Each structure stands twice: as structure tokens, then as C-alpha cells.
């Protein structure tokens, strides 16, 4: 059964500084494992964090990549997922199959993209191992989950999963160029859980937030934060309505979509080029 709108929990206020920091964390996920582990890549350094990287994970079957680190100074666990290396090929290959979400409390109405779900399940154990151990020793730590493109979809799966497994934890979700992850029942199930902040950023005519198509039964989670062609600081950003599908944000664009808008967020390149700046 689809949850009523009143079952949604309030989303904490958008934090511009967290958004700026998270875009670098997402960019770092595109870099080679060796420089992520050493925390020496350009976007790694750009975070200003002395991150203790606990795991750089890779699942070969689905080519799922990312890393988990501890920001001791900020008392945070960072989980970051890598996006796709070949965006055009990914768009061409993107299917529209849905699967039942096998999360505690999810009804049979809650459907998610089968490929995103499979990709996350293949690295879930890596995430759980570090998060569980860290929270056992430091229950006050915040969890920040981030990612770009495909990595943003996996971040949504992960942040929901962690909110169910750790209902007392403070969990933040900041993503960039996120596709639709599931149906409207999934969006409402996601928003009924205790995430302190959940924001997905969209940039002008980025095509990826339009996929998979709403007409195919997919629906965005909230809350979208949109900006137009040029990023000129915080004043450029618009926090959209809580529907997930605000017609005055990314959804205002239907033609002449630009891959270039997908590859740059908040002035940060988001692909392997970021690793060689």
C-alpha cells in the first residue's frame, strides 16, 4: 500500500557547505583506488578532509565502485559511489525493469530499478562492515552518503538501507545528477524514513534526472535542488518543492538536453578528468 503524504518525515534544511564538500567526495570516487586510499587525488585534496579510507570497493559483475572513509575531525562516516565511466553507453543500455524492494517494511507496491538494486546489493556487505563497526565504537557519528549519476542512484539505495538498519543514526544524502530509482511507492517509502537531510542536485539540462522515464512508472525522491546554466554560488540554487517532480526545476527541460551539464556540478568536473586536474 502506498504511504499517504502525511507519513513523510520532514527533510532537514539544505546545507550549502555540505553540498560543496560532497561534490568533491563524489568526484573522488572516479579516481584510481591507490590514490583514493592515499587520499591524494585532486578532488580528495579539494575536500579539505584528512579522510581515513577504510575500503575502496569493486564488484566486477556490475562494475560497482566506491569507497568508505572516516572523517574523525567531523565525526562522520563517508560512503561515496562512483558514477558510470561511459555515460552515452549507459544511457543507451539503460533498461526499465523493476524489482520488488526486499527491505524491512517495504510493501509489495514498492518497486526499484532492478539494475540499481543488483549493483547496490553486491557492495552492501562492504558498506555494512565499516558502518557497523564504526557506529558500534562511535554511535554519535553522522553518516554522509553521496554519489554522482549511477553512483547517486546507489547512494539512494544505500542511505535508505542504512536508515532502516540504524534508525538512531543521523544520515545525510547529497547526490548529483541522480536518475529515478524506483516508483512513487518507493519515493514515499524512502521519505518515510529517518534521514536527517536528503537532497539531490540537478543542473540545467542534464539528461540523467529524466531517466528512467516517469511514463514508465518511475518517480523521483525529494528534495531536488536545481540550478540553471551557470553556477554562481549559493544564490544560483533553488530548493524545489517536496514532490520529487517539481515542474519548475529540472522537469522544465524536455528537449536539447546536454551531457555536458551532467558532467559538471557546482563547478566540479564529475568523471575521470577530475582525477587529473
Positions marked active-site: 149, 206, 262
For the chain, give the longest Cα–Cα distance.
50
Radius of gyration of the chain (CA): 17
Helix, strand or coil, per DSSP, at residue 3: coil
- With 0-12 / 13-18 / 19 or more C-beta atoms within 10 angstroms meaning exposed / middle / buried, residue 37 is middle
C-alpha cell, 256: 536539447
- Residue 164: HSE in the Cβ half-sphere, 13 Å Cα cutoff: 15
Please answer whether residues 155 and 175 qualify as being in contact, where contact means their C-beta atoms are separated by less than 8 angstroms: yes
Please answer whether residues 146 and 175 qualify as being in contact, where contact means their C-beta atoms are separated by less than 8 angstroms: yes
Amino acid at each position: 500500500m502506498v504511504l499517504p503524504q502525511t507519513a513523510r518525515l520532514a527533510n532537514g534544511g539544505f546545507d550549502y557547505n555540505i553540498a560543496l564538500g560532497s561534490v568533491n567526495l563524489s568526484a573522488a570516487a572516479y579516481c584510481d583506488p591507490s590514490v583514493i586510499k592515499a587520499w591524494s587525488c585532486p578532488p580528495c585534496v579539494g575536500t579539505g578532509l584528512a579522510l581515513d579510507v577504510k575500503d575502496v570497493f569493486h564488484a566486477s559483475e556490475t562494475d560497482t565502485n566506491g569507497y568508505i572513509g572516516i572523517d574523525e575531525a567531523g565525526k562522520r562516516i563517508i560512503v561515496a559511489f562512483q558514477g558510470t565511466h561511459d555515460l552515452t553507453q549507459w544511457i543507451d543500455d539503460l533498461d526499465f525493469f523493476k524489482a520488488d524492494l526486499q527491505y524491512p517494511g517495504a510493501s509489495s507496491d514498492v518497486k526499484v530499478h532492478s539494475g540499481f538494486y543488483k549493483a547496490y546489493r553486491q557492495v552492501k556487505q562492504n558498506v555494512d562492515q565499516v558502518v557497523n563497526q564504526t557506529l558500534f565504537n562511535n554511535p554519535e557519528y553522522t553518516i554522509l552518503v553521496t554519489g554522482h549519476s549511477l553512483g547517486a542512484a546507489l547512494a539512494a539505495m544505500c542511505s535508505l538501507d542504512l536508515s532502516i538498519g540504524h534508525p538512531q543514526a543521523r544520515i545525510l544524502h547529497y547526490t548529483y545528477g541522480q536518475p529515478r530509482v524506483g516508483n512513487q511507492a518507493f519515493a514515499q517509502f524512502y521519505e518515510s524514513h529517518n534521514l536527517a537531510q536528503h537532497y539531490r542536485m540537478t543542473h540545467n539540462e542534464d539528461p540523467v534526472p529524466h531517466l528512467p522515464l516517469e511514463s514508465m512508472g518511475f518517480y523521483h525522491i525529494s528534495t531536488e535542488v536545481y540550478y540553471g546554466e551557470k553556477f554562481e554560488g549559493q544564490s544560483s540554487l533553488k530548493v524545489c518543492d517536496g514532490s520529487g517532480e517539481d515542474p519548475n526545476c529540472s522537469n522544465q527541460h524536455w528537449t536539447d538536453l546536454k551531457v555536458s551539464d551532467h558532467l559538471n556540478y557546482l563547478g566540479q568536473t564529475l568523471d575521470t578528468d577530475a582525477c587529473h586536474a
